[in-house]
Amino acid sequence: MNYRNIDDLNHCILRNITILPRDFDLVVGIPRSGMFPANLLALYLNLPVTDLDSFRNGHIYQTGERGKSFNMTDIHKVLVVDDSIATGSAMEKCRKLLSEVEKQYDIKYCVIYTVPLRIHSVDYYFEVIEYPRFFQWNIFNHGILTKACMDIDGVLCGDPTPEENDDGPYYHNFLLNASPLFIPRVKIGTLVTSRLEKYRKETEFWLEKNNVKYNKLVMLNLPDKEARQRANCHASFKAQEYGSSGDYMLFIESSMQQAIEINRLTKKPVLCTETFQMIYNSKSLYYNLKSGETFPWLRRFIIDVRNSIKNHFKK
């Protein structure tokens, strides 16, 4: 499983931006996923940016009051950007939409991530990623969720405050009225929560009210909050369900500590929404992501310290 989050995307752009010529006049993002990398590229290249339809209609996003104003007469060479290419159908659709203006501009196409078969479908790409692949910005709309386990508190809704977590009237009100957090548009395989079984009715009410689709709801069968605290089995309880079937491909958990433990017990990937890092190997300090790390800032810090020490002894 190859996963990239927004931090990975940013660092991928910074590592590879030198492949782009510096004679572009405008960056155009393909909505919706292409807008984020397009904005980053425009920022780093110090260029104006716009979206696909605005470009076709002759509109460029303007900068702030102290920034330079742009108009279409300034534009000659255009970089069209998307986050990724897979089948190539989205890029082909984009090319057709721009066929009406391709004689007016020198248009080049760029993606951040591509599969091996599509490296010749664009003019520039930054990284080749094999299937299966998943991104932070589309994971909650991805079909993999039908084969996933998902926590509720901290994922679908916020966690209860200490005052709300009284196992009484305040908690009952929280269960019925918790604010939604990340609500997928696709069906979830199994919801696995440390909420007590006695609160199934309230939980199901909230899930229906917030249009959360799922196949199964697994809850902790203990009598009360005190019993749950004594058991202290949040991660092991979730891991038991996650590890019970080979059909489960992913667990989405809110707590990093629990995510690490679930991964340790099941040896299966866990996505933590606390940091949006994917944990593959809980024994590794950096949780190897094949091309990056869960804590890239820590790795860079260690490298900087190591280089400083080497430079010191060279003097």
Residue predicted with more confidence, 301 or 100: 100
Question: Tell me: the pLDDT tens digits for 185-226?
Answer: 999 999 999 999 999 999 999 999 999 999 999 999 999 999
Residue for token pair 């916020």: 158
154-166 pLDDT, tens digit each: 999 999 999 999 9
The torsion angles phi and psi of 149, rounded to 5 degrees, stand at -100, 145
Same CATH topology for 2-133 and 139-283: the answer is: yes
Residue 85, burial from CB neighbour count under 10 angstroms (0-12, 13-18, 19+):
buried
Residue 204 φ/ψ, nearest 5 degrees? -65, -35
How many Å apart are CA 53 and CA 279, to the nearest integer?
38
Of 72, 238, 236, the C-alpha closest to 150 is 238
Residues 46, 237: Cα–Cα separation, whole Å: 50
pLDDT for 80-102, tens place per residue?
A: 999 999 999 999 999 999 998 88
Q: What is the pLDDT of residue 62?
A: 76
Is the pLDDT assigned to residue 145 strictly greater than 70? Answer: yes
Would you state the structure tokens that stand for residue 134, as one six-digit string? 């998943």
Residue 71 dihedral angles phi and psi, to the nearest 5°? -140, 170
Residue carrying structure tokens 């292409």? 34
Task: Tell me: pLDDT of 300 over 80.
Answer: no
Of 86-100, 112-126, 176-190, 270-284, the one with minimum mean pLDDT is 270-284
Q: Is the pLDDT of residue 65 over 60?
A: no
> Among 71-85, 127-141, 150-164, 277-291, which is the least confidently predicted range?
277-291
Q: What CATH code would you report for 2-133?
A: 3.40.50.2020
Question: Would you place residue 294 in the very low, low, confident or very high pLDDT band (cuts 50, 70, 90)?
Answer: very low
Average pLDDT over residues 69-87: 89
Backbone conformation region of residue 232, classed left if phi is above 0, alpha if psi is from -120 to 50, else beta: left
The CATH code belonging to domain 139-283 is: 3.40.50
The pair of structure tokens assigned to 92 is: 């082909």
Domain boundaries, the chain: 2-133, 139-283
Q: Is the pLDDT of residue 172 over 60?
A: yes
**Residue 48 pLDDT greater than 50, yes or no:** yes
Q: How far apart, in Å, do the first and last CA atoms of the chain sit?
A: 45
The model's pTM = 0.82
Mean pLDDT score of the chain:
89
Dihedrals φ, ψ of 192, to 5°?
A: -125, 115
Confidence of residue 290 (pLDDT cuts 50, 70, 90): very low
pLDDT over 90 (residue 248): yes
Question: What is the SS3 assignment for the chain?
Answer: CEEECHHHHHHHHHHHHHHCCCCCCEEEECCCCCHHHHHHHHHHHCCCEEEHHHHHCCCCCCCCCCCCCCCHHHCCEEEEEEEEECCCHHHHHHHHHHCCCCCCCEEEEEEEEECHHHCCCCCEEEEECCCCEEECCCHHHCHHHHHEEECCECCCECCCCCCCCCCCHHHHHHHHHCCECCCCCCCEEEEEEEEEHHHHHHHHHHHHHCCCCEEEEEEECCCCHHHHHHHCCHHHHHHHHHCCCCCCCEEEECCHHHHHHHHHHHCCCEEECCCCEEECCCCCCCCCCCCCCCCHHHHHHHHHHHHHHHHHHHC
The answer on pLDDT for 67 being more than 60 is no
Counting every residue written for the chain, the total comes to: 315
Give Cβ neighbours of residue 296 (< 8 Å, ≥ 6 apart).
7, 8, 11
User: What percent of the chain shows pLDDT beyond 70?
Assistant: 87
